[in-house]
Amino acid sequence: MEFVTFFLKQHNRMFALLGQHMAIVALSLSIAACIALPLGYFLSRTRWISVAVIGAFSTIYAIPSIALLVLLVPVTGLGMRTAVVVISIYAQFILLRNVVISFQTVDPAVLEASRGMGLSALEILLRIELPLTAPSLISGFRVATLSSISVATIAATINSGGIGILMLEGVRNLHMVKLVWGILLASALSLTANQLLTRAETRFSDRARGLDRRKQKNVSQEIYDASL
Amino acid sequence: MSDVVIALNKATKRFVGMKQNAVSEVTLDIDGGSFVTILGTSGSGKTTLLKLVNRIHELTAGEILFNGQNIHELKVEEYRKKIGYVIQQIGLFPHMTVAENIAVVPESLKWNKNTIEERVDYLLELVHLNPAYYRNRYPAQLSGGQQQRVGLARAMAAEPGIMLMDEPFGAIDSITRKILQDELLAIHKKLGKTILFVTHDIHEALKLGGKVIVMDDGKVQQYDTPYNILFRPANAFVSRLVAAENTLEKLQVLRVGAVASPARHSDNPNIPRVNEAETLSNVLAKFMETGAPYLGVTDDSGRVNGEVSWDALRSVASLRNEGMEYYV
Ligand SMILES: Nc1ncnc2c1ncn2[C@@H]1O[C@H](COP(=O)(O)OP(=O)(O)OP(=O)(O)O)[C@@H](O)[C@H]1O
Ligand SMILES: [Mg+2]
């Protein structure tokens, strides 16, 4: 009962915090992806450098997020900005590694054929590599998203806003209902994001493997059966 | 069409950090419309030589001319579109249907849609895949042999004058391989494309090639007709290579043209006939079936333009491999 009354009274603020949380995550992920995609693509071509750069990022990743947040406060101040910087760095590591590995696992025969037939690097990227790496890229993006949602919760400690604020207040004031609502919202956000991205991953994975049957209206059922 | 389309002039490739040349001072001419096979053991530089031609590898020294132009001075992507490329691993794009795979280069060249559709159907029929059934299938829904047919069709999509093929049938079962070899010969005959075909199967090299490049150690050991490779090996290496071929195997790869003589009995309408492109093993079969002392040799229009005698056929079996002395 208490849960419902709390919600009825506080829902405006709760949704505002949820929105803030999503904004922090979205902004951080966009920044990270804008760097990771091109950088990862180029790093994937040269194995040595990619190992070095990924090594450097994994060192940063080893630092607990709370420590990194506090460490950056003197530089970027309290609040959302620091949160975005830290979350971008964490997401960057996950994404970069994932982008490099995704591009490196494209079948070399497919790349050799596309190069041999005279496609430009851009054509190969857009028509061949991106469709083939999409499932793996989305999978990495999903992991980065979940990680960012959770780090964004912790970032409440440096006053970044977001759902973490509900939890912090709940703990500080021993306000059980508030705390549980915070946990519920954060979990719901994570689960929804996970669900959506998993679905996208499956869709793109079917396409990449040639299991997308929408173009096959003319292909008879026997042919499916024979091929499976 | 027998102009030289590809001329290699001391073409040399040494990979970074290697002590030896992978391809060493190769000088040879490929005539337009010819079917040339490249034969050699593993590591002899066959693939490297092929990849020098379409600039997947760049030369360390020497030059390669394409219709008289130095390929180094051509725009690499435009140049490659004039050359079909087929590899053993096929490398079909798994996310595209058969038709989409074949259409990639024509689309990149901005052909109009209808032209592309027609071209796809034409090519699928050429490689004996019914367009109605196969157009919209994905590579994962095809057998290995069917995939390589699509690979071949895709390589021919933008009407290249030259086809580079690197052990295209290497991973295909022997029955299907034989069928594909015969189909490729038929396609070559029909379209007159220049084909450079790498294989380490001596039988395949001699059967398909109008001329054979034998490679070892990055160098060309002999560049000659199958007949001369078999009976006039240029050195000990070639001699050893062909020594294992027995008479029947030789008959299976040599063609009527190698032993035919001018027609003397062409007035006789009753003599059995064979097409000039038949293998000598089929000629042998015909002799055995008919008991005739000679056969009329016809061109594709059915006109008699020569003849083969039983004695001429037998001479193949008794011909001494003149290279044998090299390793006695
Ligand atoms: N990318 C490369 N980098 C370094 N060395 C290479 C490279 N490609 C080939 N080589 C070397 O060049 C030599 C010739 O190789 P190549 O692939 O041309 O042989 P091949 O005749 O095609 O053999 P196979 O029948 O096994 O395919 C080999 O010694 C090989 O190790
Ligand atoms: Mg090879």
Read off the tokens for B259: 């032993």
Residue B326: band (very low, low, confident or very high) from pLDDT cuts 50, 70, 90: very low
CB contact under 8 A, A132 and B94: yes
How do beta strands B4-13 and B23-31 pair?
antiparallel
CB contact under 8 A, B132 and A210: no
Predicted local distance difference test score (pLDDT) of residue B258: 76
Read off the tokens for A183: 């946990």
Nearest to A40 by CA among A104, A89, A106, A132: A104
Ligand 1 neighbours, Cβ below 6 Å, are B 15, 18, 22, 40, 42-48, 200
* B272, B296 Cβ separation under 8 angstroms: yes
**What is the rounded distance in angstroms from the CA atom of residue A226 to the CA atom of residue A222?**
6
Percent of chain B scored above 90 by pLDDT?
Answer: 69
Predicted local distance difference test score (pLDDT) of residue A226: 46
The answer to whether B111 faces chain A, any CB pair under 8 Å, is no
Nearest to B105 by CA among B83, B125, B128, B88: B83
Mean pLDDT, rounded, for B275-293? 85
* A50, A44 Cβ separation under 8 angstroms: yes
**What is the rounded distance in angstroms from the CA atom of residue A201 to the CA atom of residue A53?**
27
**What is the rounded distance in angstroms from the CA atom of residue A156 to the CA atom of residue A149?**
12
**What is the rounded distance in angstroms from the CA atom of residue A32 to the CA atom of residue B80?**
37
Predicted local distance difference test score (pLDDT) of residue B281: 85
Predicted local distance difference test score (pLDDT) of residue A228: 41
Higher pLDDT, B301 or B53: B53
* A2-227 CATH choice from 1.10.3720.10, 3.40.309.10, 3.30.43.10, 3.40.605.10: 1.10.3720.10
Residues 6+ apart with CB under 8 A from B130: B124
Predicted local distance difference test score (pLDDT) of residue B42: 93
Nearest to B41 by CA among B142, B130, B167, B189: B167
Read off the tokens for B8: 């290699």
* B94, B138 Cβ separation under 8 angstroms: yes
CB contact under 8 A, A210 and B164: no
Predicted local distance difference test score (pLDDT) of residue A222: 47
Predicted local distance difference test score (pLDDT) of residue B325: 42
Facing residues of B162 across strands? B83, B194
Neighbour tally for B65: CB within 10 Å:
16
N residues, chain A: 228
pLDDT tens, position by position, for chain A (228 residues)?
788 888 888 889 999 999 999 999 999 999 999 999 999 999 998 878 778 877 887 787 788 888 888 888 888 888 888 899 999 998 998 999 999 999 999 999 999 999 999 999 999 999 999 999 999 999 999 999 999 999 999 998 888 889 999 999 998 998 889 999 999 999 999 999 999 999 999 999 999 988 776 666 555 544 544 444
Query: What is the distance, to the nearest Å, from the Cα of residue B269 to the centroid of all Cα atoms in its chain?
Result: 35
Query: What is the distance, to the nearest Å, from the Cα of residue A84 to the centroid of all Cα atoms in its chain?
Result: 14
* A24, A84 Cβ separation under 8 angstroms: yes
Nearest to B37 by CA among B229, B323, B316: B229
Residues 6+ apart with CB under 8 A from B188: B35, B195
Q: Complex ipTM above 0.90?
A: no
**What is the rounded distance in angstroms from the CA atom of residue A219 to the CA atom of residue B49?**
41
Residues 6+ apart with CB under 8 A from A176: A170
**What is the four-CA torsion angle of B133, B134, B137, B141, rounded to 10 degrees?**
100
User: pTM for the full model?
Assistant: 0.86
Facing residues of B183 across strands? none
Residues 6+ apart with CB under 8 A from A164: A21, A152, A153, A154, A155, A156, A157, A182, A186
CB contact under 8 A, B91 and A128: no
Predicted local distance difference test score (pLDDT) of residue B328: 31
**What is the rounded distance in angstroms from the CA atom of residue B290 to the CA atom of residue B272?**
8
Nearest to A26 by CA among A109, A76, A80, A84: A84
| Nearest-by-Cβ selection for A119 from B54, B92, B108 | B108
| B59-102 per-position pLDDT tens digit | 999 999 999 999 999 999 999 999 999 999 999 999 999 999 99
How far A109 CA lies from chain B's nearest CA (Å)? Answer: 5
Letter for the amino acid at B277? A
Contacts of A216 in chain B (CB under 8 A): 97, 136-137
Facing residues of B273 across strands? B296
Higher pLDDT, B113 or A61: B113
How much distance in Å is there from the Cα of B46 to the middle of ligand 2? Answer: 6
Facing residues of B261 across strands? B307
> Within 13 Å and on the Cβ side, how many CA atoms surround A30?
6
* B252 torsion bin: left (phi>0), alpha (psi -120 to 50), beta (else): alpha
The answer to whether A211 faces chain B, any CB pair under 8 Å, is yes
* A140, A95 Cβ separation under 8 angstroms: yes
Which ligand number lies closest to the CA of residue B46? Answer: 1
| B25-49 per-position pLDDT tens digit | 999 999 999 999 999 999 999 999 9
